[in-house]
Amino acid sequence: MRQKHLLTGALVAGILAAISLLPPRGNIEFSFYKLSFRWPPSACNVGTLKCLPDTLGYFTIHGLWPTYADDTEVPRYDPKKNKCTDVTPVDPKNLLPELKNIEDTLQKCWPNYKNYKNINMCAESWKHEWVYHGICSDYAADKPLEYFSAALTFAKEYEYDPLKGTNVQPREEPYEAQEIINAVKAKVGKTPQIQCNKNGETLQLLEIRLCFEKNKSSITPRDCPKTFTPDGLCQKETDQIKITPPPKVDLLGYKTCIEAMNEYESVLSNEL
């Protein structure tokens, strides 16, 4: 028995020693970017979220996330625990003035569902994404315009809608997960990642995520390492997934993201 305990102790010590030789996670460069599109009708018809003034009927940006090769996200910026940049990053409190000339486009394409017409409410979403993902990207931490502009540029490359122009569109009848994956792959050229939620017993498409190489000189899509989010509700190619149709709402006077995108490039060229 004593010998067994000694062997166990030696094994544990060996494992700990091996772990101590591994480089700290913070020293490992991330591998790729993941751009997440969210479908508002699926986000707004479950739980306690009340979408105001109504439910948007087009895909919006959730975030642009630097991601490790094993498909885990880079940790949020922390000056003590994860000081991922030597540059002093723009404080989230001062973020909105930095984005002034593209805030109209961001408000349409990267809104806060709690009240997408309230610029300050939308800014809260951007501040969160800046701290959790933007500062530790490889875009300048003291120039947030670069990070947010990159996300818009990636989105614009695919008409801001990963399903636009495909045969897969919102409807009451569900699709097999593989149909959705194949439709996006046919458009983008690479395998996406999808995430679902549930309305009652019905699986709904919540997000489509596209993956891109770390390459600032060109937009280069790549296969996402995992087709389904590990903690998501859809996990099989045969899962039946509904793309919930948007409600018929009056958006008179409020430009859609596509319309805002048409103005984006001229504004950006004057800023960068």
CATH number of the CATH domain containing 178: 3.90.730.10
**Long-range contacts, 180-189 (Cβ 8 Å, 24+):** 180/205, 180/208, 180/241, 180/243, 181/227, 181/237, 184/208, 184/210, 187/158, 187/162, 187/163, 188/158, 188/162, 188/221, 189/221
pLDDT in tens, 55-92: 999 999 999 999 999 999 999 999 999 999 999 999 99
Proportion of the chain above pLDDT 70, given as a percent: 83
Kindly indicate the confidence band of residue 12, based on its pLDDT and cuts at 50, 70 and 90: very low
Task: State the CB neighbour count (10 A cutoff) for residue 117.
Answer: 14
Residue 7's pLDDT is what? 37
Q: What is the mean pLDDT of residues 143-162?
A: 95
Question: Residue 216: pLDDT band by 50, 70, 90 thresholds?
Answer: confident
Report if residue 119 sits inside a domain: yes
Confidence of residue 272 (pLDDT cuts 50, 70, 90): low
Residue 215 has pLDDT above 70, yes or no: yes
In the chain, the number of structural domains is 1
Q: Of 221, 224, 227, give the one whose Cα is nearest residue 189.
A: 221
Domain contains 184: yes
Please indicate, yes or no, if residue 10 is contained in any of the structural domains: no
Record the pTM: 0.86
Q: Which domain holds residue 35?
A: 29-271
Percent of the chain with pLDDT over 90: 77
Which tens digits make up the pLDDT trace of 219-271? 999 999 999 999 899 999 999 999 999 887 555 455 678 777 776 666 656 65
* Residue 85 domain flag: yes
